[in-house]
Amino acid sequence: MLAAVVAFVVLVAVTPAGAWGSFAANATVLLLVCGVGRIGPRRFLRQMRLLAPFLLSFVLLALFAGGERVRPFGDLAGLSWVSASSEGSLAAGTLACRAVLGATAGLLLVETLGHMGLLAALRRVRLPGLIVELIGFVLRYSGLLADWFGRRSIAMASRGYRPRRLTDLPPLAASTGTLFVRSFEQGERIDAAMRARGYDGSVPAALGDLPTQHRPGSSAARRMAFVLPLVAGVGAVLG
Amino acid sequence: MATAAFSGAAVAVALRSCRRDAQPTAVAGMAAAFVFAAQMVNFPIAAGTSGHVLGGVLAAVLLGPSLGLVVLTTVILVQALVFADGGLTALGYNVLNMGIVTTFGGYAAYLGLRRLMPASRSGVVMAAGLAAWLSVVLSAAAFSLEWLVGATAPVPFDRVFGSMVGVHAFIGLGEGAATGLVLSAVLASRPDLVRGLGSALMREALKSEDGPILRRVEPRGVFVGAIMITVVVATVVSQFASDNPDGLERVAVDRGLGFGKPPYVRLPFADYATAGLGNESLSLAVAGFSGVVITALVLGGLLAATQRVERA
């Protein structure tokens, strides 16, 4: 499934600019598969929130790029001054489509496979072992670290200190340094614990055999995923 | 695609020179989690705005450039895959700009600056801070250069370059300050954790009892001189270069070998002129200077990464 989604994203990226029909077809199929995988609109909207600054920059691109100007509102009352760059709009629209499709595909991938499933898939495509292990650690411990940073802010606030200006950087940085040292030492303790439980430096092969159903609808979505690159491929060629 | 191939190769090189026994995997994992979490923290700048740090130079100085690159690559991968934050096709591109240019290029800058600074903790901190600022600026410059070669959108190069580099020169100040300060905090408590210290400082950090520290003849003068000469040649002397075609071009023109066709891709530094900069000599100077800086730093970083660190 990893391969299918990655192929889909790549094909969307090479779909020629302005191929609105292809983008629409891709979106439809993607939404279908998401529906099968029971990915709700709330998750989708959260993903779009991450994309929001990029979408904004696309709008700016449409408005301010060079090239000939076009008036989308024609002579409508009071709006005839609104003009956009025609090349810019084309580019902005294409980029927006690609961004949304790519982000949603990523969302589908993560929600369907689950974190462990994703790691297993990365192992299967022979991503270097060290990187897969590091990804695993990031997924497992970034929550802990984020919590430490949160506690740092609370500790500062409870002592009456709220950093507001750039000149307030030193205490933030000093505490960040301490947190780095602490995370380093935590890493050493984790390594000792792992070795005490028999870790010898290799990623367990059992990582490859994991239950396929991460959530209701996952295995169905997995089976359907091959459709995505097919549709995208046709769309890219027909443009 | 090209950036993906280049990034993949560079990361492979880094992986190979990353010795697993140097740091246990769990430690590297925690470092990666730390960088990931730290990138999410926003620090205040002024009047309600806040910024984030990339941490490339910090990772390179703390963990060594190869492990630093691997850690940054991991973080970028996680953001792209799990949070769909970066776009999968832009991975090669992102790893190149945010990973390779900041860690390798920034580390090379750090090494160079460290030789210019006094060999003390504050010297190291200053070098790291400046290198971090430079890494952000270079990252923006690299992005702008790639933009012109591969971009979908018709924005003139000088506008992209100017605005990107200009804005990031400002943003980089935050990164530089944060990097320097965090490094000084780590140096204050556990200097032995910092892999990027020079051998003299490392010995001091590990408190060896081997008697007076023999100071190597630092080729500082040679290094600085070489850089200055290269920059002067690239920016000033090149102005006087002859416009006549060199031997190869002359032969090609004589034999009518299609020099008249317009190039398929208008590269930003084609013919040693920066596209979009009207003033010819300035355009030439910027092109030459950028080329020297980026090449020197990335290759220097690659060299530094593949050398083994000698410990006392």
DSSP A171-235: HHHHHHHHHHHHHHHHHHHHHHHHHHTT--SS--GGGG---S-SSTTHHHHHHHTTHHHHHHHHH
Q: What is the amino acid identity at position B296?
A: A
| Contact yes or no for A141 and B29 at CB 8 A | yes
Query: So what's the pLDDT on residue A193?
Result: 92
Closest-CA residue of chain B to A143: B37
Give, to the nearest 10 degrees, the angle between helix B121-150 and helix B56-63. Answer: 130
Residue length of chain A: 239
How far is A197 from chain B, CA to nearest CA, in Å? 14
Asked if residue B88 lies in contact with residue B1, where contact means CB atoms within 8 angstroms, the answer is no
Q: Is the predicted pLDDT of residue A83 greater than 80, yes or no?
A: no
Contact A177 B183 (CB under 8 A): yes
**Min Cα separation A80/chain B (Å):** 24
Q: Does A181 contact B at CB distance below 8 Å?
A: yes
ipTM over 0.90: no
Look at residue A51 and tell me whether its pLDDT is greater than 80: no
Write the DSSP symbol of residue B310. P
Average of per-residue pLDDT values in chain A: 80
Contact flag B20-A92 (C-beta cutoff 8 Å): no
Q: Is A149–B37 a contact, with Cβ atoms under 8 angstroms apart?
A: yes
A30 and chain B in contact, CB less than 8 A? no
Section A126-132 average pLDDT: 82
In this complex, is the C-beta atom of A188 within 8 Å of any C-beta atom belonging to chain B?
A: yes
Judged by CB atoms closer than 8 Å, whether chains meet at A164 and B44 is answered as yes
Mutate: best of A60, A138, A214, partner B, most B CBs <10 A: A138
Is residue A106's pLDDT more than 90? no
**H or E segment and range at residue B44:** strand B43-46
User: Using CB atoms, which residue from A115, A166, A180 is nearest to B182?
Assistant: A180
Contact B186, A177 (CB under 8 A): yes
Q: Are B182 and A118 inside 8 Å of each other by CB? A: no
Task: Give the range with max mean pLDDT: A91-95, A222-226, B182-186, B239-243.
Answer: B182-186
pLDDT category of residue A179 using cuts at 50, 70 and 90? very high
- Please answer yes or no on whether A88 and B153 come within 8 Å at the CB atom: yes
Most confident of A68-72, A158-162, B48-52, B98-102: A158-162
Burial zone of A55 (CB within 10 Å; 0-12 exposed, 13-18 middle, 19+ buried) = middle
Say if pTM beats, i.e. exceeds, 0.90. Answer: no
Helix (H) or strand (E) segment spanning residue B142: helix B121-150
Comparing A211 with B103, which gets the higher pLDDT?
A: B103
* Whether B81 and A179 lie within 8 Å, measured CB to CB: no
Any idea which of A64-78, A163-177, A213-227, B141-155 has the lowest mean pLDDT?
A64-78
Q: Enumerate residue ranges in chain B where pLDDT < 50.
A: 207-219, 221, 258-261, 310-312
Searching chain A, which residue's CA lies closest to the CA of residue B160? Answer: A65
pLDDT at B272: 53
Round to whole Å and give the CA distance between B155 and A60.
Answer: 11
The minimal CB distance from A187 to the residues B26, B174, B178 is found for B26
Percent helix, percent strand, percent coil in chain B, to nearest 5: 70, 0, 30
Predicted local distance difference test score (pLDDT) of residue B312: 41
B26 touching A, CB under 8 A?
A: yes
B81 touches A at CB < 8 Å: yes
Instruction: For residue A121, give the chain B residue with the closest CA.
Output: B81
How far apart (Å, rounded) are the C-alpha atoms in residues B306 and B312? 19
Structure confidence at residue A185 (pLDDT): 92
Q: What is the mean pLDDT of residues A79-107?
A: 77
Instruction: Determine what percent of chain A is predicted with pLDDT higher than 70.
Output: 87
d(CA B310, CA B308): 6
Burial of B3-21, coded b for 16+ CB within 10 Å and e otherwise, reads bbeebeebbebbbebbeee
Task: Calculate Rg over the CA atoms of chain B.
Answer: 21
CA distance B111 to chain A (A): 21
Do B15 and A131 make contact, defined as CB atoms within 8 angstroms? yes
Beta bridge partners of B44: B50
> In the structure, what pLDDT confidence band is assigned to residue A148 with cuts at 50, 70 and 90?
very high
Lowest mean pLDDT among A148-157, A170-179, B272-281: B272-281
Task: Give pLDDT, residue A215.
Answer: 77
Of A9, A61, A140, the CB nearest to B153: A61
Does the beta carbon of A49 lie under 8 angstroms from any beta carbon of chain B?
no
The contacts of residue B249 (CB under 8 Å, 6+ apart) are: B259
Any chain A CB within 8 A of the CB of B75? yes
- Interface test with chain A among B15, B30, B82, B95, by most A beta carbons within 10 Å: B30
pLDDT given for residue A150 in this prediction: 92
